[in-house]
A and B are shown apart, each in its own frame.
Chain A
Amino acid sequence: MTITPKAPRKLTMKQRYSALTRDLEWDPSYVSDEEMFPLTSFEGITIHDWSKWEDPFRLTVDAYTKYQAEKDKRLYAVLDGFAQSQGHLSLTDASYLNAMKLFLQGVSPLEYQAHRNFAMLARHLNGPGPRFASLCQSLDEIRHAQTEIHTLSNYNKYYAGFHSYLHMHDRVWYLSVPKSFFDDALSAGPFEFLIAIGFSFEYLLTNLLFVPFMSGASFNGDLPTMTFGFSAQSDESRHMTLGLEAIKFLLEQDEKNVPLVQHWINKWFWRGYRVTALVAQMLDYMLPRKVMSWKEAFELYFEQQMLGGLFQDLAYYGITPPLHVDKAMQEKEYLSHQAYWILYQFSHAAAFTTSVPSDEHMDWLTEQYPDTFPIYRTLWEKEKKNIAAGGRHFIRGLPQLCQVCQIPMGFTEADEPFIQAQRESIFEGERYNFCSDGCQYIFDHEPVKYRQAWLPVHQIYQGNCGAADLPGVLDWYHMKPGDGGEYLGSLDNQNWKKWHDMADETGGN
């Protein structure tokens, strides 16, 4: 027997949130559903009930703006203080900034792209719950783009390689790796984007992508970047819960969605993993003070957390770990060595500098990679002799690029570290090259898409990059003296020494 309460029932927190967000929705009657949501049918995903979306977080506009405004106030106070006190001089070394050059050129523009396309989801998803979550993420992402730019802006005033990061992102060969990755996601439909970015990028690979940069910052005296990293953390945890809710929602809505989602996981794991090659070499080679090796990072953030955790849960839906994940696990032993060796040889055409690892650095690498680094050590010892004889190694020709990930074809077979991997597919009479099975798999599913790729090397050959010779192309890239090449003796290296000598003379430190 229940007694009906006389007074009207006050809203629970959940009901209140619903009244403030999803209850704003109505079914249109003057236009069709298809006109209202034209983008959510072509991908083949079936959604029976959008209201089954569980809000991954309950944040209202007043709470969001208050919390974010407070975070930004603290962050900008740190940035201002650091700039005023010439904090850049307390970095471990100017060469540390190579990691941040890569970050600003390669990653910050992706934050911006995420901002734009989450706005697309905030318009085009049929359910008000996921639309609002996407709207918040769209705002977070412009925050990330801008706070990263503002964080690194101070370094740009004193160091090379930062000055033309936007121009370079759209043109330079190694930056077409991250650019094509995100263009790939933006040119996909809304559901694939949710899996590509919301799930794979923001959940599956986020710790491998961001934590190394942020830990690298904290180990190398980069207080602004470290503060930015902490400040983005609560945003990121919201993004992770959104990604997880997105995949569960798609899987629970209809069994027919499972194979589509599985394919997207296969594709976007490998696509994202290839981008992390840049992170791997940064972690093992660019940081003056080491945090952890790529191998350790991969084992912790991917093998333990994702394969050991997440995919155990997803098995319930019939989802298996991504195809080619075994190759990535084999590659962890030498991915960074091969990636850095490629960049080392082409850094005269890059906006960061490279150098032969010091003996101490090589001892650390030997400790971290006892089975594989000794092979690469012989390569570096040989290079040291070249340098002593006045001949640092730069490749003057242009490399062949993988049609999908766009990394120069320098990776070896996963189980044969001496044999360069090369795959090819013929499509409509044309031959395309790939660095790996993973990239070939991606191409073979969507050849019409990937043959469109703006491959920087092809573009140079076709005369679309300002000139036919290297200096002309570098000019077109807006590279300036001091941006690339060898670190030792570079502009940054010279200035760093000069400024520290000045500091010593004035009785500092």
Chain B
Amino acid sequence: MQFELRTQVIEPQRKTFQHLIDRYGDRPASRYEEGTIDLQARVNYHYRPLWDPSKEIYSPDYSALKLTDAYSFVDPRQFYYAPYVTARADLHEAFGATLAYLDKRGMFQRLPAAWSSLFQDVVLPLRHYEAANQMIASGAARYGWGTSITQCFAYAAFDRIGNAQILSRAGISFGGGTAESLDLAKRTWLEDEAFQPLRKHVEEMLVEKDWGVAMVASDVTDRLIYGLFYTALDDAALNAGAASYSLVAQHLSQWFTDQRRWFDALYKAWVSDPELGEANKALLGSIVSTTLATALAALQPVAAKADGLVDAGAAASLATAAEQIVAAFAALGVTVETPAS
């Protein structure tokens, strides 16, 4: 039975759920809001975790970085599941098209020898870096406080496996359809001296129990890595006729632009919190100062390795990226010590 009510308007009893009306007033809510705000339980947990009876199942105390109101942060991308997977389907489809083109035209084989070595020995090992960041972000998605924040972490975690797969698929093509290049890159990650300070830094981030500290450390390291390999070297690659390097790098730098959107909004929420803003600034100052020094020192040998292969000014780009980090945090009112170079 179908009812034709085109001429009759049925007045809704309410425009959305009560918790959204309480927060935003009596207006229709977006799907992002309905699927995000207040989803995580905040009270009346039944049992303490067996793995840490000193804590509740969810608690703001899993990190020193806190917000008075967790939902003062919302994702500027308004990503709930459907738009998230749609955006990523597009990203991976675009990468797939790039890869098909690179394969068809034998582009990896046409890389100048030095850039080929750079891709093999410096960039491909970073797929392990991406995988580690999935674990860091997944931990934060579990222990974080408030769905607007943890949802960003959950999608970021999936993104990192996606990025690792982008690098791995490029590596398989680069290796002529075999896993040889990936195997070689793994050995580099595990054994090459230039990579050991970075791997040590990554393993230490992985065991960091405070999710806020871990995510910020990961972000600072990302800014150096993405700034160097997928932005600065992308330009240099084009100048050097290493088109396939650039064609792969563009998808990763495009992803990082997206990642920055929500992460920068989260920093803003932390530092502008009416009650905890000053405490957060001090905390961020110390986390970023420590991580920046460690990550920069860890990446210098990698940049040196790159400079040994191609003339692209990697060490200088890395230093520039570090300066930009200090400046970006200064703009937020966060004092970061400039690391010794």
Contact = CB atoms under 8 A, between A and B. Distances in A.
Contacts of A508: 2-5
24 contacts: A9-B178, A11-B179, A19-B172, A23-B168, A26-B128, A26-B190, A31-B203, A36-B206, A60-B165, A61-B158, A62-B96, A68-B89, A72-B86, A89-B5, A116-B58, A122-B135, A135-B158, A138-B154, A139-B81, A142-B81, A157-B13, A166-B41, A184-B46, A478-B18
* CB-CB nearest 4 A-B residue pairs: A62-B92, A24-B131, A146-B35, A61-B162
A25 B35 CA distance: 33
B4 A507 contact: yes
B142 A119 contact: yes
B41 A19 contact: no
Given A42-B51, A146-B81, A509-B4, 11 more contacts: A20-B168, A29-B199, A61-B92, A62-B93, A68-B85, A69-B88, A122-B134, A165-B17, A189-B51, A452-B48, A506-B8
B55 to A, nearest CB: 10
User: Helix, strand, loop or mixed for chain B's interface?
Assistant: helix
Interface residue tally on A, bucketed by range: 35 or more
A46 interface: no
Interface of B: 1-5, 7-8, 10, 12-19, 31, 34-35, 38-51, 57-58, 80-82, 85-86, 88-89, 92-93, 95-96, 127-128, 130-131, 134-136, 138-139, 141-143, 147, 150-151, 153-155, 157-158, 161-162, 164-165, 168-169, 172, 175-180, 182, 186, 189-190, 199-200, 203-204, 206-207
Contacts of B5: 86, 89, 499, 502-503, 506, 508
B164 A24 contact: yes
A11 B173 CA distance: 11
A218 interface: no
A183 B7 contact: no
A239 interface: no
Nearest to A452: B47
A123 interface: yes
A156 B16 contact: yes
A20 B182 CA distance: 10
User: Helix, strand, loop or mixed for chain A's interface?
Assistant: helix
A11 B172 contact: yes
A234 B275 CA distance: 46
Contacts of B172: 11, 16, 19
A506 B199 contact: no
A36 B127 CA distance: 19
A449 B4 contact: no
A159 interface: yes
A123 B153 CA distance: 12
A162 interface: yes
Interface stretch (A147-155, A201-209, A311-319, A382-390): A147-155
A419 to B, nearest CB: 29
Contacts of B142: 116-117, 119-120, 123
Nearest to B43: A170
Contacts of A166: 17, 19, 38-39, 41
B92 to A, nearest CB: 4
A170 B316 CA distance: 54
Nearest to A162: B17
B3 A187 contact: no
A31 B204 contact: yes
